[in-house]
Amino acid sequence: MPQRIIINPVTRISGFMEIQADVESNYIVDARTKGLMFRGFEKMLIGRNPFDAVYFTERICGICSTAHAMASTMALENVMNITPSEQGRYLRDIIHGSEFLQNHLRHFYQFTLPDFVKLPEDYPLFKSDQNDYRLPPDINDRMVRDYFESLVMSRDAHEMLAVLGGKAPHNHGVFIGGITSPVTVDKIAHLSSLLYKIDRFIEEKMIPDVLDIAQYYPEYYHIGGGYGNLLSYGCFDNYKELGTLYVDPLVYSNNTVTNFNPNEISQASDYAWFTETGEPDTRKPQAYSWIKAPRYDNLPFEVGPLARQWLSGEYTNGISAMDRIIARALEVKKIASIIKTLLQNLIPGVPMQEVYSVPVSGEGRGLIDTTRGALGHWVIIEDSRIAFYQVISPSVWNLSSQTGDVKGTAEQSLIGTPIRNISDPVEIGRVIRSFDPCVSCSTHVFTEGKHLDPIRIV
């Protein structure tokens, strides 16, 4: 008879999520990822001015808000048949790239590192009961110092974003046609200075920290693999003059890489709290999550840094929890290099904006890879108002509920994971956090003098 582990909430992620895992003979034999927060942003957009979507959808998330501005802008440009200038794309992608830097730095050091590094326990909101810390004291202490320094680096990346976007998070720079203001020489110099400092930290501290963790936790190269299907909508690609700086829209499945076809995307809600018409239904039999189930060619796919690194040929060591962590660190180095290239190709003072009229009707989509993976926005405009809006975020791909008997990507990655100590199932958190989950805008409950135990064994 399997024992059931329920972890709720899963901490150090973005959003509310529960993991349910059935364990037999110290191996996970079944798993469910449960998104526990209803959002409804698409419904809030119905009837609004289409241009509102750019800044409205940014509020879906505070850590990856620029991504939604990018996808929404691209969807509207698709409706209006507008192609941004190359200079507009460079500036927009520098803003987006800055968000990559702050997100990946924050995820590794604030979300992932505490799974492997013993941090000081003299903080009222932090308590760790796990005992699987293996790093030698000198390496552990070095990473603790890097943990705190990373906060400054992540803040500097947000400053880069704000230099061009006006503020961070929820920038006001990304818009139809490019960004809302031209770049100046002093802004380019400021951005270059901040980027140099961040790049040095990545090269000298972040990447060595990741590789040291991999050395002392080698079994995680064999845990958390899942289906091995990888997808990217393309990232920093298809520039007129620079070509593709990172990865083209590609798909990897059955040991074969093929071109991405957006018409192969579908979305089901077999086990999600939605009716077939998309209306919320919390009484739906067998449903267990607010997260639907996107599929490509009817298959679940993994999206994110590992997918991009694999499809670009930058990193093809394997598909596992540790490979995801390493791929994210290598990607942040890659993104820093891309931003440097874009900065070198900027022309100061080029005007970015003109007056645009709201289209009377039309349909459009904006597909882009962002920090956590493939992000898509779809819009239908009728009578100059939004009649339909759809968002499929990266974590919907990775944390999807099952369809029929087919598990979601993260669910499948948990199945087969060995659990050394069922009362301290650290392996579950390590595998799930390797996806950088974003169920969006989490809160943490704290009662003074009490430690809330999120793990139940039933």
* Residue 164 to residue 212: CA distance in whole angstroms: 35
Terminus-to-terminus CA distance in the chain, angstroms? Answer: 11
Interacting residues of 427 by C-beta distance below 8 A, sequence separation 6+: 223, 417, 418, 419, 420
**Whether the bond into 280 is cis, omega within 30 of 0:** no
Sign of dihedral through CA atoms 229, 235, 239, 245? Answer: negative
Instruction: Give the DSSP letter string of 139-180.
Output: HHHHHHHHHHHHHHHHHHHHHHHHHHHSSSSS-S-EETTEES
**Does 42 count as an annotated binding residue?**
yes
* Residue 13 to residue 433: CA distance in whole angstroms: 7
Please report which helix (H) or strand (E) contains residue 27, including its range. strand 27-35
Sign of dihedral through CA atoms 53, 375, 183, 191? Answer: positive
Can you read off the two tokens belonging to residue 118?
């013993």
**Strands (DSSP E) found in 327-433:** 362-370, 373-382, 385-392
**Does 235 count as an annotated binding residue?**
no
* Residue 409 to residue 406: CA distance in whole angstroms: 9
Specify binding-site residues for Fe cation. Answer: 64, 441
Specify binding-site residues for Ni(2+). Answer: 61, 64, 438
Specify binding-site residues. Answer: 42, 61, 64, 391, 438, 441, 444
